C-alpha cells in the first residue's frame, strides 16, 4: 500500500484550508497525534461539513493513511459541538482508534495553534509548528484528497452570502469565479465579492480570478455592506484613523494568539503609526506572531479602527528589515477560556445574520470551457511548465512540476483540451 506521503507528493496535494502548504512535507515527520481539522471557523463556509456528510468514507481512508504514515498513536477529528447530527454520524462510523473532539463554536477555532491546545492541551511555542509538540494537523479536504488517491484537479467551494441558497459544489481547479456564479445563476449586480471567508478573505471586483488549491469559497454581499467598506479601506485611511486609538487594549485582550501566551499586542502596533522607523520595533515586534485572523479589526475594536491591517503592515516592515519570528516556549493566558469569541456574536457584529441560511451540496458535473492554472497556488517555488502552447492535454495530465528538492507541488490539468497559453504565472487550457 502506498503511503499518504507518496500519494500527496505524486498527486500535487496541498493544504486545502487556505495555507496550501505541500502535504507531503507535513507528512514527512513522525508525530504522536494526528488531528483532522473540521472546525471550519469562518462564517458562511460549509465545504468541510459537506465532505464529512457526503464523502466520509474517502475522508476516513485518507485520515487512516495519514495516521499510519506519521506513526500516530492518537487520532482526533476536531469539529464544533453545534453539528450534533453530523457528530452522531461520525461517532457511529469511525473506528475505535479515532476520537471525535467537540469544539466550542468560537472564532478562530480552526487556527491550528488553538486547535492543538483545545484538543491536546499541548501549547505550541510562539514561532513554532504543531510538530514541535508531537502533533500534525490536516484539513478535512486534504485528507479526502489523500483518500481518493487521484491527481488534485477539483476543489470544493462554497458560494454564500447574498444569494438565494448557499451552495457547496466541486469545481475544476482554475475555473474563474464568474463562471461558477453564472452556473449558479447568482445575481452579481450591485454586489461585491470576498474570495475566502468574511474574516480572512479579500475583496475583489475581478471575478476572472481562478479557483486555486487553497480556496474555500466566495461570499457575495451588497456593494455598500459595512464589511465590504471595512475591508476595502486604503492604507492612508487605515493609518489616519489609527491616530485616534485610545489604547483601550480590547484588541489585545481578545487576541487569540495573545490568549495562547504569545504576547501579540495589536494595541502597541497602533502606537507605532506615528513613530519614526527606528522607534517602531518595540511596538511592532509582536506582529511577527500575528495569525491575521482579523478579529481585532472586525470584532474587538469599539472604535471601528483597523489594528489587523496595522499589524500586517508592521510585520511587512519588520521582514523588510530582516527580522524573523523566533521560537519561544510560553505559558497559556489564564483568561484563555473566558475571552474566546462566540461565532454567533461575531456574525452579528459583521452584519451577516440575515445570510445564515440553510445550505446545500450540489453534486453537479460542472465543467468550464477554459481553466487558468496558476503555477504558484501553493507555498514554495512556482511549478515549472511541462507543456507548450497548442499541445493537447487530458484531464489529470501533469502540466507543471516543481524542481526536485524545492518546496512546491505538481499541477495537473483539470479539464481535457488544448493548451492556449503558457507563461511564468499560469497555464491556460481550453476545451476543444
pLDDT digits (tens, 9 = 90+) for 335-377: 999 999 999 999 999 999 999 988 999 998 899 999 999 999 9
For residue 323, the model assigns a pLDDT of 92
Instruction: Give the angle 117-130-120 at the CA atoms, nearest 5°.
Output: 30
Mean of pLDDT values over 244-270: 97
Q: Is the pLDDT of residue 276 over 90?
A: no
Mean pLDDT of 270-283: 86
User: Contact at 8 Å (CB) between 80 and 43?
Assistant: no
Phi, psi (deg, nearest 5) at residue 56 = -60, -40
| 63-77, 127-141, 312-326, 334-348: range with lowest mean pLDDT | 312-326
Q: Are 256 and 117 in contact (CB under 8 A)?
A: no
**CATH placement of domain 153-225+351-368:** 3.10.20.600
In the CATH scheme, what architecture does the domain 369-432 have?
Beta Barrel (2.40)
What are residue 101's phi and psi, to 5 degrees?
A: -105, 120
Dist CA 368 CA 417 (whole Å): 11
Helix or strand holding residue 356 (H, E): none
Question: Could you report the per-residue pLDDT of 406-422, keeping only the tens digit for each?
Answer: 999 999 999 999 999 99
pLDDT above 90 coverage of the chain, percent: 94
Q: Confidence class of residue 169 from pLDDT cuts 50, 70 and 90? A: very high
CA distance 350 to 156: 25
Give the domain ranges of the chain. 4-148, 153-225+351-368, 235-339, 369-432
Of the candidate CATH numbers 3.40.50.1820, 3.60.140.10, 3.40.50.11540, 3.40.50.10860, the domain formed by 4-148 belongs to: 3.40.50.11540
pLDDT in tens, 277-326: 778 888 999 999 999 999 999 999 999 999 999 999 999 989 988 999 99
Query: What is the Cα–Cα distance from 400 to 381, expressed in whole angstroms?
Result: 12
Q: What is the rounded average pLDDT of the residues 16-33?
A: 93
Q: Which residue has the cell 438565494?
A: 164
Q: Helix crossing, 140-148 with 4-11: angle to 10°?
A: 90
Distances (CA, A) of 108 to 99, 291, 295, 342: 22, 10, 8, 9
Q: At 18, is the pLDDT very low, low, confident or very high (cuts 50, 70, 90)?
A: confident
pTM: 0.96
4-148 and 369-432 have identical folds:
no
pLDDT value, residue 45: 98
Confidence (pLDDT) at 19: 83
Q: Kindly state the average pLDDT of the residues 199-212.
A: 96
C-alpha cell at 72: 500516530
Amino acid at each position: 500500500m502506498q503511503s499518504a506521503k507518496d500519494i500527496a507528493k505524486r498527486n500535487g496535494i496541498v493544504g486545502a484550508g487556505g495555507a496550501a502548504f505541500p502535504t507531503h512535507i507535513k507528512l514527512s515527520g513522525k508525530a504522536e497525534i494526528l488531528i483532522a481539522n473540521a472546525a471550519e471557523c469562518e462564517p458562511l463556509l460549509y465545504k468541510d461539513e459537506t465532505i464529512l456528510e457526503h464523502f466520509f468514507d474517502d475522508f476516513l481512508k485518507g485520515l487512516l493513511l495519514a495516521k499510519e504514515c506519521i506513526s500516530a498513536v492518537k487520532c482526533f477529528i476536531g469539529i464544533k459541538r453545534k453539528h450534533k447530527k453530523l457528530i452522531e454520524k461520525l461517532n457511529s462510523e469511525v473506528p475505535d482508534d479515532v476520537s471525535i473532539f467537540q469544539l466550542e463554536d468560537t472564532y478562530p477555532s480552526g487556527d491550528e495553534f488553538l486547535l492543538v491546545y483545545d484538543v491536546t492541551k499541548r501549547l505550541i511555542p510562539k514561532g513554532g509548528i504543531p510538530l514541535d509538540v508531537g502533533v500534525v494537523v490536516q484539513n478535512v479536504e486534504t485528507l479526502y484528497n489523500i483518500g481518493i488517491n487521484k491527481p488534485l484537479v477539483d476543489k470544493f467551494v462554497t458560494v454564500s452570502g447574498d444569494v438565494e441558497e448557499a451552495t457547496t459544489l466541486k469545481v475544476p481547479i482554475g475555473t474563474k469565479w464568474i463562471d461558477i456564479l453564472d452556473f449558479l445563476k447568482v445575481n452579481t449586480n450591485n454586489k461585491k465579492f470576498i474570495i475566502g471567508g468574511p474574516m480572512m478573505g479579500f475583496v475583489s471586483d475581478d471575478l476572472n480570478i481562478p479557483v486555486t488549491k487553497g480556496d474555500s469559497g466566495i461570499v457575495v454581499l451588497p456593494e455598500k455592506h459595512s464589511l465590504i467598506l471595512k475591508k476595502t479601506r486604503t492604507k492612508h485611511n487605515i493609518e489616519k484613523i489609527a491616530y485616534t486609538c485610545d489604547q483601550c487594549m480590547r484588541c489585545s485582550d481578545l487576541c487569540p494568539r495573545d490568549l495562547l501566551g504569545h504576547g501579540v499586542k495589536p494595541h502597541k502596533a497602533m502606537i507605532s503609526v506615528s513613530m519614526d522607523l527606528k522607534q517602531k520595533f518595540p511596538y511592532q515586534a509582536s506582529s511577527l506572531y500575528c495569525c491575521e485572523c482579523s478579529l481585532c479589526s472586525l470584532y474587538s475594536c469599539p472604535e471601528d479602527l483597523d489594528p489587523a491591517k496595522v499589524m500586517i503592515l508592521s510585520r511587512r516592515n519588520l521582514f523588510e528589515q530582516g527580522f524573523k519570528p523566533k521560537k519561544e516556549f510560553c505559558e497559556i493566558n489564564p483568561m484563555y477560556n473566558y475571552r474566546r469569541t462566540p461565532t454567533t456574536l461575531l456574525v452579528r457584529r459583521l452584519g451577516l445574520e440575515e445570510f445564515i441560511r440553510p445550505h446545500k451540496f450540489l453534486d453537479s458535473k460542472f465543467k468550464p470551457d477554459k481553466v487558468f492554472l496558476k503555477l504558484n497556488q501553493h507555498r514554495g517555488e512556482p511549478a515549472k511548465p511541462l507543456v507548450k502552447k497548442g499541445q493537447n492535454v487530458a484531464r489529470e495530465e501533469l502540466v507543471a512540476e516543481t524542481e526536485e528538492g524545492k518546496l512546491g507541488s505538481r499541477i495537473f490539468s483539470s479539464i481535457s483540451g488544448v493548451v492556449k497559453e503558457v507563461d511564468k504565472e499560469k497555464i491556460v487550457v481550453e476545451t476543444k
